[in-house]
């Protein structure tokens, strides 16, 4: 088990000013390299000495990774854009209020001033067994301590588990999935683009990673198409404390309505699985129906199909159903 210390182990620090230089450094150091965004997740790992990279590549000096800019009829946001800059951007506020609302629920104002959009998306799980250095499946061991009957698992999965029951901690992730965003990834072999819902992976695919990012790759930007710009949005995050805390469960919903009926909707939740979950069964149930209490009830009733709670987190099932119901009642974020 790790011992929390005050001193961070020594490493080589590189501060490139171009993406190409950063990718070259990450390729050179391979598994011994570490890409640093805002540092809020990384420094925890370093201080606790659970992660000991040989080289840290600080992305803060790469201007091309910052800012909000037009992308066709939508927008593109650099991965190193701070959460505060995302919240205060006029296009985000006027057209993509769902992202603004989600970003404003991240931690505290001080953390949002330093934390980046990409960092929030790529942060590792907060499972205390894993982060404290226990040899669990995710850390390369042969058990999941959080799934044991006597374990402390109040904050863990109720769906999507496969050996590991840790949850994804990102607040902005479900909002971007609901907005049908795309993630732009750069590596030494070029650029690739993946849908937001495919950017995150569960332990059934790779138990050591939470995203599709491979060693040496960097998330460079997020593209949001105009499809749900100005739609009816809803975001809600339930947590133990009003600030700083991670979600026990969160929901993000984008609905396009006409004549009081739901033409199409995208519903995503987080804090309940190892990855943000798009609830396509809910979307199918509510499509074409009026915005009403009856429709909300129908959507909430199928929101937790297949859920398998642990000993101490069965409350998340009812919580998630209620969050989805509230999101479908047509209240705009």
Is 172 within 8 Å of 92 (Cβ atoms)? no
Report pLDDT for 243: 82
Q: CA 62 to CA 19: how far, in whole Å?
A: 6
In the block, tokens 């819902």 appear at: 197
Confirm whether 39 is domain-assigned.
yes
Give the model confidence (pLDDT) of 158-194 as tens digits.
999 999 999 999 999 999 999 999 999 999 999 999 9
Per the prediction, the chain carries an average pLDDT of 95
CATH number of the domain residue 323 falls in? 3.30.390.50
How many domains does one find in the chain? 2
> How many helices (H) and strands (E) would you count in the chain?
13, 12
Give the model confidence (pLDDT) of 4-35 as tens digits.
556 888 999 999 999 999 999 999 999 999 99
Confirm whether 209 is domain-assigned.
no
Confirm whether 192 is domain-assigned.
no
Q: CA 186 to CA 188: how far, in whole Å?
A: 7
CATH number of the domain residue 52 falls in? 3.30.43
Q: Shortest CA distance to 216 belongs to which of 45, 14, 28, 81?
A: 28
Q: Shortest CA distance to 251 belongs to which of 279, 230, 232?
A: 279
For residues 247-254, give the mean pLDDT: 98
The last residue of one of the domains, among 57, 74, 93, is 57
Report pLDDT for 182: 98
Confirm whether 307 is domain-assigned.
yes
Please write down the HEC assignment for all residues of 247-313. CCEEEEEEEEEECCEEEEEEEEEECCCCCCEECHHHHHHHCCCECCHHHHHHHHHHCCCCCCCCCCC
The structure's pTM equals 0.96
**Domain containing residue 322:** 231-327
């Amino acid at each position: 088990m790790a011992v929390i210390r005050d001193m961070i182990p020594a490493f080589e620090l590189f501060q490139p000013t171009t993406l190409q230089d950063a990718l070259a450094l990450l390729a050179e150091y391979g598994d011994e390299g570490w890409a640093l965004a805002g540092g809020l997740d990384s420094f925890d790992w370093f201080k606790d000495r659970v992660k000991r990279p040989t080289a840290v590549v600080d992305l803060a000096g790469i201007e091309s990774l910052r800012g909000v800019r037009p992308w066709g009829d939508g927008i593109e946001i650099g991965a190193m854009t701070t959460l505060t800059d995302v919240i205060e951007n006029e296009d985000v506020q006027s057209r993509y209020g769902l992202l603004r609302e989600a970003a404003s629920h991240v931690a505290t104002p001080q953390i949002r001033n330093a934390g980046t959009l990409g960092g929030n998306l790529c942060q590792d799980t907060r499972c205390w067994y894993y982060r404290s250095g226990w040899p669990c499946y995710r850390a390369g061991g042969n058990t999941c301590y959080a799934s044991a009957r006597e374990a402390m698992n109040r904050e863990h999965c109720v769906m999507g588990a496969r050996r590991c029951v840790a949850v994804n901690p990102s607040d902005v992730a479900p909002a971007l999935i609901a907005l049908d965003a795309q993630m732009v990834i750069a590596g030494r072999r070029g650029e690739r683009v993946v849908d937001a819902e495919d950017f995150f992976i569960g332990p059934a695919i790779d138990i050591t990673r939470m995203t599709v990012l491979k060693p040496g790759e960097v998330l460079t930007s997020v593209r949001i198409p105009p499809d749900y710009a100005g739609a009816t949005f809803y975001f809600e995050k339930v947590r133990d404390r009003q600030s700083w805390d991670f979600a026990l469960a969160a929901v993000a919903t984008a609905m396009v309505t006409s004549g009081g009926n739901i033409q199409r909707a995208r519903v995503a939740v987080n804090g309940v699985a190892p990855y943000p979950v798009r609830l396509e069964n809910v979307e199918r149930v509510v499509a074409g129906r009026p915005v009403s209490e009856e429709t909300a009830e129908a959507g909430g009733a199928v929101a937790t199909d297949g859920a398998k709670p642990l000993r101490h987190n069965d409350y998340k099932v009812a919580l998630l159903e209620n969050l989805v119901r509230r999101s479908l009642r047509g209240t705009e974020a």
